[in-house]
């Protein structure tokens, strides 16, 4: 299999940063990320078997329907890993074919560890030429933000990006993310501040969007007490099946709404396996997001 490297600029400048590529994709294709989440109940609802054959058919259909038109596709690694090495092989193909069709691929793996282990996770998903090379990766900072340094360094060198869990949409997240530090700032706000520092150089150099993003749930209500101006993208899960709508985005994200990458999974995927229906659902969500952002 041939793997696509990160796009490069002029020879002297190296890879085009992920944030720059993401801003362009969102402007050209619409501000939307669609998950590829082949969980068993969804395969069944598509009339597929919950096995490797069903996984292959599901993933191929989503890529064929959406990879040439949505800005970002986000495979959830766990749903492929549950089938063992053959499932991971399907994930490799899914990533390569989605990128070849023009979509940016955000690998939803939420990796987080220390030292050489974190470096190995970074190599798995962010090293050009790796079988699972993706445009960006979700990571967990809850062994300390500094534990992400190997991934940050490789992302910067390879023109890829990170999305760091900051203020997630699951209710359980609050017990960690809302915990207060000695300085009175909570952990979620601390992660946002660290990301702002990561993006400062890119933004100072004129990038419309930095490459280091935060995961911030669209279901969290008014976030005006947080400084969301991190200079990078805000991946916003919770649109669709979890109850949030595109119209909620300005109320949740305020002035940072133009940096939001809304993530929809079941809200689009439930329209499969018909490719026209999948495309129609994705286009409707993207149009609704555009309208909501334009109204700000």
Give per-residue pLDDT as tens, 44-83: 999 999 999 999 999 999 999 999 999 999 999 999 999 9
| Residues annotated as part of the active site | 110
The contacts of residue 253 (CB under 8 Å, 6+ apart) are: 216, 223, 228, 234, 236, 259, 260
Whole-angstrom Cα distance, residue 32 to residue 262? 5
Three-class secondary structure of residue 274 per DSSP: coil
Q: In this structure, are residues 34 and 236 in contact, taking their beta carbons and an 8 Å threshold?
A: no
Distance between CA atoms of residues 39 and 55, nearest Å: 9
Q: What is the pTM (predicted TM-score) of this model?
A: 0.95
Average pLDDT (4-30) is: 82
Q: Which domains does the chain have, with CATH numbers?
A: 18-291 (3.20.20.70)
- In Å, how far are 90, 141, 153, 221, 224 from 146, measured between CA atoms? 32, 8, 11, 29, 26
**Cβ density class 15-32: b for 16+ within 10 Å, e for less:** bbbbbbbbbebbeebbbb
Residue with more model confidence, 9 or 153: 153
- Least trusted range by pLDDT, from 45-49, 127-131, 190-194, 218-222: 218-222
Residue 99 backbone phi and psi in degrees, to 5? -70, -40
Residue 257 has pLDDT above 80, yes or no: yes
Query: What is the reported pLDDT for 199?
Result: 98
Rounded distance between C-alpha atoms, residue 249 and residue 211, angstroms:
21
Model pLDDT, residue 6 = 60
Which one is predicted more confidently, 201 or 241?
A: 201
Cα–Cα dist 231/199, whole Å: 6
Question: What pLDDT score was predicted for residue 1?
Answer: 32
Side-chain half-sphere of 238: how many Cα atoms within 13 Å?
24
């Amino acid at each position: 299999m041939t793997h696509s490297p990160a796009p490069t600029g002029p020879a002297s400048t190296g890879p085009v940063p992920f944030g720059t590529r993401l801003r362009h994709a969102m402007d050209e294709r619409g501000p939307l990320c669609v998950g590829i989440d082949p969980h068993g109940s969804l395969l069944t609802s598509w009339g597929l078997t919950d096995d490797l054959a069903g996984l292959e058919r599901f993933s191929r259909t989503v890529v064929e329907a959406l990879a040439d038109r949505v800005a970002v596709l986000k495979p959830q690694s766990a749903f492929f890993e549950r089938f063992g090495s053959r499932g991971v092989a399907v994930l490799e193909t899914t990533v390569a074919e989605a990128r070849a069709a023009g979509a940016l691929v955000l690998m939803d793996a939420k990796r987080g560890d220390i030292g050489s282990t974190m470096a190995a996770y970074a190599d798995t998903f962010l090293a050009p030429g790796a079988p699972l090379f993706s445009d960006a990766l979700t990571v967990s900072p809850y062994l300390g933000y500094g534990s992400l340094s190997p991934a940050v360094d490789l992302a910067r060198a390879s023109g890829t990006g990170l999305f760091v869990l900051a203020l997630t949409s699951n209710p359980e997240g609050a017990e960690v993310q809302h915990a207060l530090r000695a300085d009175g700032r909570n952990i979620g706000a601390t992660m946002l501040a660290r990301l702002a520092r990561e993006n400062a150089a890119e933004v100072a150099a004129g990038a419309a969007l930095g490459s280091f993003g935060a995961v911030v749930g669209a279901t969290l209500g008014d976030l005006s007490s947080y400084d969301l101006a991190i200079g990078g993208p805000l991946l916003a899960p919770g649109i669709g099946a979890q109850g949030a709508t595109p119209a909620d985005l300005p109320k949740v994200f305020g002035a940072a709404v133009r940096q939001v990458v809304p993530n929809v999974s079941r809200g689009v995927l439930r329209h499969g396996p018909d490719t026209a229906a999948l495309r129609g659902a994705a286009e409707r969500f993207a149009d609704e997001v555009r309208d909501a952002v334009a109204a700000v």
